[in-house]
Structures are given as C-alpha cells and as structure tokens.
Chain A
C-alpha cells in the first residue's frame, strides 16, 4: 500500500540532477571502497621499499603516489574510506534507531515524561565528547568498535531533539486526534502516524549526519585517539598528510579530496531527499 508515495518520491528524486550526481558519486565511492583494494596490485599495509614518498604517476603502479613508508596511497585511501564509511553508517544507524524512538516517545507523550527524557538528553549534551572518548579508549582500548560506541552515544542526541520537535507538532495535528477517536492505542499511533510522518526530516538529517560522523571520526583519528596505524581511516590519513604538507602535498590532497567529495555527495543527496519526501509539495 505504501508503494505509491515511495514511488512518487523516487521519481522526483530521479529528476533532481544534483541529488542524482550525489548518488552517482556515492555509488562510485562505495564500490571503490569495498571492491577497489582487492583489484589493485598492493595491499594497504604493504611497504614498497623501492618507491618511498613518490608523487602521483611518478612510479609504476602507484597511481596516486605513496606515503613516506612506501605504502600505496590509493589503496590506503580506499581502505580508509571503507573504515570511515562503515563507522559512519553504523553510527548513523544507531543514532537513527535510538533517536527516533526516544524523540517520538517524548514528543508524543508530552508533559513530565517528555521533560524527564529530554533533560537526560541535555545532560549527555553537556558532557564533553572528546573527554568521554578518551575515557572510553582508556577503558576499552583504541579501535573501531570503541569509536563507534563513542560516536553513537552522542549522535542520537540531536536526532532525538529534532524528532521530538516534529512529534510535538504532529501530536497537535488533527489526524492524530482522529486516530484517538478511532480507538487507536498510543504505541500504534506513534508507530503508524507519528514516525512515518517525521521520516522525511529524519532521513534528511541522517544523510547530513553521515558526513558529520565521518568528520568527527576524522577529527578523533587526527588527534590520535581514533583509528590507529596500520589501520587507515580518512582521518588518520589526513593527519599523516598534514605532517608532510610542505614536502609531499599529495599525501594530504588525496584523502582530503576524497572526504570533500563524500561530504558533498551526502549533502546533495540530503537536499534532494528533503524535496522528494514531502507528499504535500506535489
């Protein structure tokens, strides 16, 4: 039964050139990140002693050059992209589930429950995230999983606030009252009326959250408390590149360019989705 609206939304999205460019770029990046390294001649931690810190196209097989340990930059960037994307997508999914459930419940129930739930969010907001991540890494050790937990623990806060605001205004809409008069119970109203109607802004926010998480991950890795060598992520690649900026600018340019491309693609997709998902616009 839901096919009609989604099909319309897809048709609208398909007509949006900027959004489709974003989708195409994302598809290429995803494919490259997950299939690319296997097709190339080098592994991400393989050291080529004959070509250390060579510029792009200067040495055989190293299309985008190598870093100062002689590791192929293209492979490492694709590998870093894979790690960053995986963490970002997983953290966004976690935020999505917790944030939507938390926010929709608080916004629908209103009153004291709402106040309690949102004060909890405020308290978490007030914690300094970097400090929290450092504690986590001390307790659980550094690694992708710790990073995921750390980012996920904060990512849902904004989502919950957005969703609560939407739910509060949806709560006042007449179709919710109509559902109450129709005898529907609270869980059903939240699931069938509130959540589907706030999915539009939520999906948009999610597409904007993915690049945000990638930036946070990059930032933490840049500081040295995120993904650790020899594992690559866009963040620690940029950190390494930044150190060699004056002598070997490509070491910064390649992962940074990749990050910029990724963030732009997600933002374009998010904008297109926002326009496409509103059934009243048509």
Chain B
C-alpha cells in the first residue's frame, strides 16, 4: 500500500474578471513508504500548489488524497490535525517562513506545543535543541531571531521544525532555490542524510532537474498543471521522452569551458517563444514544442504507461524510444 496517494487531484483558483484557472488539473501521484519523489517544472506549473493541496493549505476542486489508503481530503479540520504529526513541510523561503518575532528555538518547538499536548516547555525546548543539533545548528543560535541568521542557517532551522514531531512524510517545496549555490549543496546533503537516517518519505519540489536528480530515485515532470512525464531519474535524464523534459535538461547550466559556445549556438537557433494561454483542447505544450504535429493541437495526449513502467503524455513518444536528443548541436 502506498503511503500517500493522490487521485485525479485538481485545484482551481478564481481570478478576478476571468475564468477559473486550473493550477493543478487531474494529477495522480503515489508515494511509497520511505520514497523521495521528485517533482520538476517551471514556476506557475502548479507544483507548489500540488504540495500545498497535500498539506491542506488550499482546497481541492476535485480528486482524492489518501494516507495509508484512507481518504483524508474530506476530513474535518479537527480530525485532520492529528495527521499533521505525520505530514510536515519545508518551505521555499526560509526568511519568510519563520516568525520574525520568535526565537529560532520557539519556532522549532511550536509544532510540539500544538501537536504533542501535555509536554512541558522545558521538554519542548530540549527536543528543539536536539533537532537543531541534528541539522547542524549550534545551540547558541537557538536564542537568536531570524534576522540574525544567514539563509542557510535559517533553512536548517526550518528543517528542524519539520522534523520535531518525527513525521513520516515531508513536502520539500523548493528548499534550496532561495539559497546561494554553495549553501544549496550543504542543504541538499543534509536532506539526503536525514532521509537516509530517518527513512523519511518526501515530495521534493524544484525547478532544477539537477537538484532533483541528485536526491530522488523517481521523478515527475509537471507542465501547466499536468504531469507530462514520470520515470526513474536515469530514464528522465538519459532517455527523456517528452519534449518539455528535454528543454528542462538543456536548461541545466554546464560549468565547463564549452558551455558558452553551446549556449550561443542554441540562442542563434531559438525563436522567441510566444506566451499563449493554456489551450482548451490539445497538448498544453504544443505552442512551445519543436516537434508539434496538427494532431497535438486538436487532441490532448493522455499520460500513458510505456513498456518500461514509466509514463509520458506525448503523442509522438514512440517515435524516439532512445530519448530526445539535445536541441543544441555540439
């Protein structure tokens, strides 16, 4: 049985003076015990909304959320609260997600106060210090305020807060994209270590495929509210079947001396991409796709299972069984 399962989940936002926007549109996800699943896509593709839907920070428009096989999306707030001990979150911007008027230790201990009733303040504080140590934050920082810490230190505190109730599942919503590259590496290593030690299940959301591929065995690619491809990281990185996945791969910056020439070559080939609203029919990637056919604009490709157990939402996926080659001519 899966630890967490989403079935046909949709989230819609009401826009003033416009039709409802489907931020997430009929998404199915299954996450096993101690699996870290990667979710990649550009900003606005709905990946953050999907994470928020799991945590009940936004209401579902359709679909079901199952926790250990039990539906939890229709629970009353009171009945959902105990589940928060198991479902936690690491947010994107560590500067914004800690209360500026609370010390680090107070913020880290707060979930205990709400979720582990009857603990004493001293016990909570002790546990907070323990978790801070686990994420590599020295005890003397516990009494400081968020504005006195660096981004990397704050993100460690945020991770400590997520871990304080010993959850089974953590949504990691772009936990490193607000940080310096050198600090990103440290936080990714920390998350890797914690996942190993605690056998924690997680949904790891990022726009950077390189970061996701380092942490997650299985990766889902999301575009405009829908999953367009899923597979193991090896499949996604080496045998990408969806043109959007190819684009994401090409976007990961190289750091070798030839990177600049490749970039210039690609820039010379690329046409400026026109921004169009998501079409009512057809493939939502059609406007950007270099491999588009008339059929793509008329008929929406479903997410279909391929022979190897992965899935892809592209009419032409069978035409390139060895994966799409990089767009840049090397």
List residues of chain A with CB within 8 A of the CB of B85.
183
A274 within 8 Å of B by Cβ? no
Contact B84 A5 (CB under 8 A): no
Contact A280 B84 (CB under 8 A): no
Please give the distance in Å from B80's CB to the nearest CB on chain A: 9
Contact of A175 (CB < 8 Å), options: B57, B92, B96, B113: B96
Q: Given the known inter-chain contacts A4-B103, A181-B55, please indicate yes or no for A175 contacting B97, CB distance below 8 A.
A: yes
Chain A 205-244 interface 0/1 with B at a Cβ cutoff of 8 Å (1 = within) = 0000000000000000000000000000000000000000
List residues of chain A with CB within 8 A of the CB of B100.
175, 197, 279-280
Contact B101 A181 (CB under 8 A): no
B34 within 8 Å of A by Cβ? no
Contact B96 A184 (CB under 8 A): no
List residues of chain B with CB within 8 A of the CB of A182.
84, 88, 110-111, 114-115, 161
Q: Within B57-114, which residues are at the interface with A (CB < 8 Å)?
A: 57, 81, 84-85, 87-89, 91-93, 96-103, 106-107, 110-111, 113-114
Contact of A5 (CB < 8 Å), options: B52, B111, B145: B145
Most buried by B among A183, A185, A193, A282: A183
Secondary structure of the A contact surface, majority rule: helix
Contact A183 B81 (CB under 8 A): yes
Contact of B115 (CB < 8 Å), options: A174, A183, A282: A183
A179 within 8 Å of B by Cβ? yes
Complex Cα spacing A2 to B106, Å: 10
Complex Cα spacing A47 to B90, Å: 74
Which chain B residue lies CB-closest to A179?
Answer: B110
Chain B 168-193 interface 0/1 with A at a Cβ cutoff of 8 Å (1 = within) = 00000000000000000000000000
Q: Given the known inter-chain contacts A174-B93, A193-B99, please indicate yes or no for A181 contacting B84, CB distance below 8 A.
A: yes
List residues of chain A with CB within 8 A of the CB of B88.
181-182
Contact B114 A188 (CB under 8 A): yes
Complex Cα spacing A274 to B228, Å: 50
Which chain A residue lies CB-closest to B116?
Answer: A183
Complex Cα spacing A193 to B96, Å: 13
Contact A279 B99 (CB under 8 A): no
A178 within 8 Å of B by Cβ? yes
Besides the known contacts A181-B55, A184-B114, A280-B147, 5 further A-B residue pairs in the complex with CB atoms under 8 A apart: A1-B103, A178-B98, A181-B87, A184-B110, A192-B102
